Structure 1
Amino acid sequence: MSRSMKIAIVDDEQDMRQSISQWLALSGFDTETYASAQDALKVIGPEFPGIVVSDIKMPGMDGMAFLKKLMSLDSTLPVIMITGHGDVPMAVEAMQLGAYDFLEKPFNPDRMTELAKRASQTRRLQLDNRALRRELSDGTVLMKKLIGSSPVMERLREDILDLGQADGHVLIDGETGTGKTLVAHALHAVGPRAGKKFVQLSCAAHDEDTLAAKLFGPISDGTTLPLIEEARGGTLCLEDIEALPQTLQARLLTVINEQGSPAETRIIAVSNLQEQDKTCEDVLRPDLFYRLAAMRITLPPLRQRGEDILTLFTRLSDQFAEEYGCDAPEVSAQEAAQLLQAPWPGNVRQLINVAERAVLQNRRGSGTIASLLMADNEETQPVMTTEGKPLKEYVEAFERMLIDNTMRRHKGSIVNVMDELCLPRRTLNEKMAKYGLSRSDYL
């Protein structure tokens, strides 16, 4: 999710900071102005959602001292320095201290805008990556990402909590797009190794020699540890484990055997085997397979998750609608049935794509969800699953989605929801209890 970036403008000259602010505001930026570094430091911290534009020569704390303080708070914060004529050597020193770039007075306003855009993009990426790292180390957050109340998802969450605490090696398999890497992170985050290193490697992304060096060493530059060592005490996640060559399977088995129990490094192997006539057991050495698969999680395909499909679609379309600044599409009963019946060969990853395209279609005022599902299949008509469901299941799934959507739109106002859905309070309360919906979730 993209976030709005601010620009803090720090200059003791009122005319200068106002002119910079006005120009950047006209360019679409959210600006804040400060007459001194001390004033700015009351607001700017390590998580400041934006960048800083600062003059170098200021009374009190000058720009260089200000830059040093900012770098001590957050060394990744982009700071653009403004220098007077002849102060280029000072600007070069500022760059060495960590400044993002500098502008020499009198500067071209378009150059200022271009620098601000690039610095803001850099900052957004930094903060998003930082937030992602926090999420991937927080078991509570990760478990909330495993959305769904279907029996298979309830069982999956229970398995993650149980196997996370067990701390043995794990094999995760399932169809593409079901969220296997997310589950690997969750297993690490809810177990005794939470807070220790989580190291990932795709076995399909490198040739055998490169894989051997990355996993077991030696590393040619001598500056980094092989991943088996880097992950010591934590978790090593080996994605596409079926692509690990036989010789390296033998070396990995040796390492596992030498570590004993409990293992110094936990191995979580993720299988993305696609051939229908093969399983991970067919391509791994039997002794390695049984060491890894002593604990095993098979992720359910989306088509088996029932009304979770509608819940996920609603959450995703709301997120994309917020990102694109438009309304989420309203889902009709017929479209809800089509979402529930679609085969979803790409699983959650495919659903994410469909939700984003549905939002973009809705913004343009054209297209249907059915057309998106049709486009995802080679057939001229939308392909439906062969797993028939009773009409009652479709009706209940749509009813739950409708109440959920209306509650979120009215931020938990029971009176407004009753009016829109023409339901008496008792009936609404009964249906919310039936579907596990709580008013407190919408406030």
Structure 2
Amino acid sequence: MARAMKVAIVDDEADMRQSISQWLALSGFDTETYGSAEEALGAIGPDFPGAIVSDIRMPGMDGMAFLKRLMGMDSSLPVIMITGHGDVPMAVEAMRLGAFDFLEKPFNPDRMTELAKRATQNRRMTLDNRALRKELSDGSTIMKKLIGASPAMERLREDILDLGQADSHVLIDGETGTGKTLVAHALHAVGPRASKKFVTVSCAAWSEDQLAAKLFGPSEDGVPLIEEARGGTLCLEDIEALSHPLQSRLLTVINEQGTPPETRIIAICNEHAPDKTLEDILRSDLYYRLGAMTIVLPPLRLRGEDILTLFTRLSEQFAEEYGCDAPALTAQEAAQLLQAPWPGNVRQLVNIAERAVLQNRRGSGSIASLLMADNEASGPALTTEGKPLKDYVDAFERMLIDNTMRRHKGSIVAVMEELCLPRRTLNEKMAKYGLSRGDYT
């Protein structure tokens, strides 16, 4: 269950702040009260996880001065101002300075609750987006999201580290659901432009005129994206949907930038006909400018044991979110996951893992039924090659040791006892599967 968002109540009248606090607490908010703006400023920082309710008229620092200090600290802090009769012009000025809204005394308590709910929801979204931006600008953090020990994933991580340092434009191709947008973020985060802007736009989400305005201007939203991303990275998703006239305009911009380009372009292809390549879809001069460096993401069905690793990590995350146990895979279920064609790739695996956790919470269902229903819903599936029995046994054994080591935080004795393995055998198997105790402690 999500934690209640905070509401800080600032008012010099003890009865008023106490009544507001009691009412909001009954409405499910986590409240804290302050008798002056100065006292509140000592406790409220730029990442304050909630909203602020403040009276306008207070001795010492008044509400307007308090608001200016808060906006200077973090302009996205939602501040609800309480005004007395005749203070509406002051409230309007407060809105101009950045206040979230205002209430005129005497106010309806339900209206206070409604405003507090909207303000805290707004704050939660702001903080979530801020955390996401911070995460996506941290190269080491984002690279850890590219989970997998398969040769294909090892090569992908090496390619990202190599191409991330370059200035050339990059073309990312691969099947739907393989994580192309995550790779685009990683390319930006590990390179010299990491501190600059990363701007994303889908070429398929807008009409040709709208996309032209957003990319090149004049834009109703302000600065054209080409300008907004200057010095950083412009990520063009669904590049295959870019019309020929806009391809021509984009090529002109690229040619005008020279070498190295002022703005790096990462183009993502999300779908094209099986009998066509991106070279068939884009005009050749643009293709060769964008495709000088290309990354093709591996489909999940070719990533072997990564499938089990990903399923385990995802199911543990969902189990924690839903407050229940993660499903324990049998050898048969592990083989079914490895044999599945995965037409939806990692995105499909995420859905399967979440539903497996929900099934396990209810105590019913199976992995096989989930896979069957999912593949039937997604239409004709790609085929996957069979593997020798030994490969399935090895994959299951590695997953079992990995899961047990993580559950016991690297305690060799506990793992030996649970799996009934002598120490020498466990050491040999860990060496065989590339598992190290230090990864779990």
TM-score, length basis structure 1: 0.88
Does the alignment pair 1:254 with 2:259? Answer: no
Contact 2:240 2:272 survives alignment (8 Å): no
Measured in 1, the distance between the counterparts of 2:95 and 2:309 equals: 49
Give, in angstroms, the shift of residue 139 of structure 1. 1.8
Q: 1:385/1:227 Cα in 2 relative to 1: closer, same or farther (>3 Å)? A: same
Contact 2:80 2:99 survives alignment (8 Å): yes
Structure 1 counterpart of 2:211: 211
Contact 2:301 2:384 survives alignment (8 Å): no
Q: Please, which of 291, 298, 303 is the counterpart of residue 305 of structure 1?
A: 303
Q: 1:211/1:66 Cα in 2 relative to 1: closer, same or farther (>3 Å)? A: closer
Contact 1:343 1:384 survives alignment (8 Å): yes
Measured in 2, the distance between the counterparts of 1:267 and 1:138 equals: 19
**Aligned residue type for 2:170:** V
**Aligned residue type for 1:125:** M
Describe the superposition over 1:3-56 as per-residue Cα deviations: whole angstroms up to 9, x where unpaired.
653233334455544444444344333333334433332332111222223344
Measured in 2, the distance between the counterparts of 1:208 and 1:322 equals: 44
Instruction: Report how many residues are paired.
Output: 441
Q: Please, which of 319, 323, 326 is the counterpart of residue 317 of structure 2?
A: 319
Give, in angstroms, the shift of residue 174 of structure 1. 0.4
Describe the superposition over 1:114-138 as per-residue Cα deviations: whole angstroms up to 9, x where unpaired.
3322222111110111112222222
Give, in angstroms, the shift of residue 291 of structure 1. 2.3
The 5 A counterparts of 1:59-74 are 59-74=59-74
Structure 1 counterpart of 2:193: 193
Measured in 1, the distance between the counterparts of 2:246 and 2:334 equals: 47
**Aligned residue type for 1:272:** N
Contact 2:272 2:278 survives alignment (8 Å): no
Structure 1 counterpart of 2:6: 6
Give, in angstroms, the shift of residue 365 of structure 1. 3.5
Structure 1 counterpart of 2:157: 157
Measured in 2, the distance between the counterparts of 1:366 and 1:10 equals: 51
Q: Please, which of 277, 280, 284 is the counterpart of residue 278 of structure 2?
A: 280
Measured in 1, the distance between the counterparts of 2:109 and 2:115 equals: 10
Describe the superposition over 1:309-338 as per-residue Cα deviations: whole angstroms up to 9, x where unpaired.
122222222222333333333333222222
Q: 1:101/1:382 Cα in 2 relative to 1: closer, same or farther (>3 Å)? A: same
Contact 2:340 2:384 survives alignment (8 Å): no
Q: Please, which of 347, 351, 357 is the counterpart of residue 345 of structure 2?
A: 347
Does the alignment pair 1:363 with 2:367? Answer: no
Contact 2:163 2:293 survives alignment (8 Å): yes
Q: Please, which of 266, 285, 289 is the counterpart of residue 268 of structure 1?
A: 266
Does the alignment pair 1:239 with 2:232? Answer: no
Measured in 1, the distance between the counterparts of 2:411 and 2:40 equals: 40
Measured in 2, the distance between the counterparts of 1:413 and 1:84 equals: 64
Contact 2:343 2:381 survives alignment (8 Å): no
Give, in angstroms, the shift of residue 187 of structure 1. 1.4
The 5 A counterparts of 1:23-172 are 23-84=23-84, 87-172=87-172
Q: Comparing 76-85 with 409-418, which one deviates more in the overlay?
A: 409-418
Percent identity (aligned): 82
Give, in angstroms, the shift of residue 277 of structure 1. 1.1
**Aligned residue type for 2:334:** A
Structure 2 counterpart of 1:230: 228
Q: 1:115/1:279 Cα in 2 relative to 1: closer, same or farther (>3 Å)? A: same
Q: 1:360/1:31 Cα in 2 relative to 1: closer, same or farther (>3 Å)? A: farther
Describe the superposition over 1:281-326 as per-residue Cα deviations: whole angstroms up to 9, x where unpaired.
1112223222222211100011111121122222222222333333
Does the alignment pair 1:175 with 2:175? Answer: yes
Give, in angstroms, the shift of residue 280 of structure 1. 0.6
Q: Secondary structure, in 3 states, of the residue corresponding to 1:52?
A: strand
Q: Compute the RMSD of aligned alpha carbons.
A: 3.0
Q: 1:174/1:22 Cα in 2 relative to 1: closer, same or farther (>3 Å)? A: same
**Aligned residue type for 1:177:** G
Give, in angstroms, the shift of residue 429 of structure 1. 4.2
**Aligned residue type for 2:253:** V
**Aligned residue type for 1:245:** S
Q: Comparing 205-214 with 175-184, which one deviates more in the overlay?
A: 205-214
Q: 1:383/1:346 Cα in 2 relative to 1: closer, same or farther (>3 Å)? A: closer
Q: 1:323/1:83 Cα in 2 relative to 1: closer, same or farther (>3 Å)? A: farther
Measured in 2, the distance between the counterparts of 1:380 and 1:244 equals: 26
Q: 1:321/1:118 Cα in 2 relative to 1: closer, same or farther (>3 Å)? A: farther
Q: 1:370/1:267 Cα in 2 relative to 1: closer, same or farther (>3 Å)? A: same
Contact 1:173 1:270 survives alignment (8 Å): yes
Q: 1:16/1:329 Cα in 2 relative to 1: closer, same or farther (>3 Å)? A: farther
Contact 1:342 1:383 survives alignment (8 Å): no
Contact 1:328 1:362 survives alignment (8 Å): yes
Give, in angstroms, the shift of residue 438 of structure 1. 4.1
**Aligned residue type for 1:117:** K
Contact 1:342 1:382 survives alignment (8 Å): no
Q: Comparing 52-61 with 169-178, which one deviates more in the overlay?
A: 52-61
Structure 1 counterpart of 2:326: 328
Structure 1 counterpart of 2:390: 392
**Structure 2: 5+ residue stretches without partners:** none
**Structure 1: 5+ residue stretches without partners:** none
Q: Secondary structure, in 3 states, of the residue corresponding to 2:28?
A: coil
Q: Secondary structure, in 3 states, of the residue corresponding to 1:237?
A: strand
Q: Secondary structure, in 3 states, of the residue corresponding to 1:115?
A: helix
Measured in 2, the distance between the counterparts of 1:84 and 1:225 equals: 40
Contact 2:52 2:79 survives alignment (8 Å): yes
Contact 1:7 1:32 survives alignment (8 Å): yes
Q: 1:161/1:72 Cα in 2 relative to 1: closer, same or farther (>3 Å)? A: same
